[in-house]
Amino acid sequence: MMKKLYEKIIKYKTYIGLFMLIVLIVYSGYEYYNKYFYIFKDPIKIKNIIMSYGKYSIIAFIVLQIIQVVVFFIPGEIVQISGGYIYGTTLGTVISFLGITIGTIAVYGISYFCGRPLVHKIVSKKDFKHFNRLLNLKNKKLIVFLLYLIPGIPKDILGYICGISEINIKDFIIYSSLGRIPGIVISAYFGSKMYSKNYTLMAFIAIIMTLLFIVGVFKGEKIVGKLTKK
């Protein structure tokens, strides 16, 4: 009995290790969120926390981005803005993109290996039904790109849904990453203007972002449906 159990553990050691890593990430994210929830609403407070890690601050920021993707109820836009506020537009964009990409891969992996039971527990029936319907349309690559491009659509839960869909991880990473880039750049740019206190430009960007967000919330899915309809 013990010998067979040992053989199974050896056979599936990669999957067991991955599962334990996933559990650790989710647990760490939950604990971090509970402890620092108030901070996630303020880029300045995020900066103070990140810079307290000294020469490891960039690593700390990347880890924060990974956590905010996996634990998707953390406001990602504020973290992205914080990247620009702390590191400027270029570096803020690069490290945000790196952390978000790693987090996106982790989310897909969690969903892929844990399957539908987990996804149905963390994603509402309404969201699952809507996004699953869109992902079953013909041009799946374009759909993933548009869903991640349009503001106001809950992007991080999409990773969990895509993980149990017909979209392979390669296409998912490529097209979700391409869709995220404009939003990450704009958020980092906005954050950099916070640091330089260019309030006029900040107000203009904020108005545009808000309008796009509102359009995305109320019309995002319809836009995707029309653009991918053949």
pLDDT of residue 200: 67
The rounded distance, in Å, linking the Cα atoms of 92 and 84 is: 5
The rounded distance, in Å, linking the Cα atoms of 192 and 92 is: 9
pLDDT of residue 39: 47
pLDDT of residue 158: 84
pTM of the model: 0.71
User: In this structure, are residues 91 and 49 in contact, taking their beta carbons and an 8 Å threshold?
Assistant: no
Other Cβ atoms closer than 10 A to 131: 23
User: In this structure, are residues 105 and 174 in contact, taking their beta carbons and an 8 Å threshold?
Assistant: no
Ranges 3-7, 11-15, 163-167, 221-225, most confident: 163-167
Ranges 61-65, 155-159, 164-168, 197-201, most confident: 61-65
DSSP for the chain? -HHHHHHHHHHTHHHHHHHHHHHHHHHHHHHHHHHHGGGGG-HHHHHHHHHTTGGGHHHHHHHHHHHHHHSTTS-HHHHHHHHHHHH-HHHHHHHHHHHHHHHHHHHHHHHHHH-HHHHHHHS-HHHHHHHHHHHTSS-HHHHHHHHHHSTTS-HHHHHHHHTTSS--HHHHHHHHHHHHHHHHHHHHHHHHHHHHT-HHHHHHHHHHHHHHHHHHHHHHHHHHHHHH--
The rounded distance, in Å, linking the Cα atoms of 205 and 98 is: 24
| Domain residue ranges in the chain | 2-228
Mean pLDDT over residues 50-70, rounded? 90
Mean pLDDT over residues 190-196, rounded? 76
Q: What tens digit of pLDDT does each residue of 3-46 get?
A: 555 565 566 666 566 566 556 555 555 555 555 444 445 677 77
pLDDT of residue 40: 47
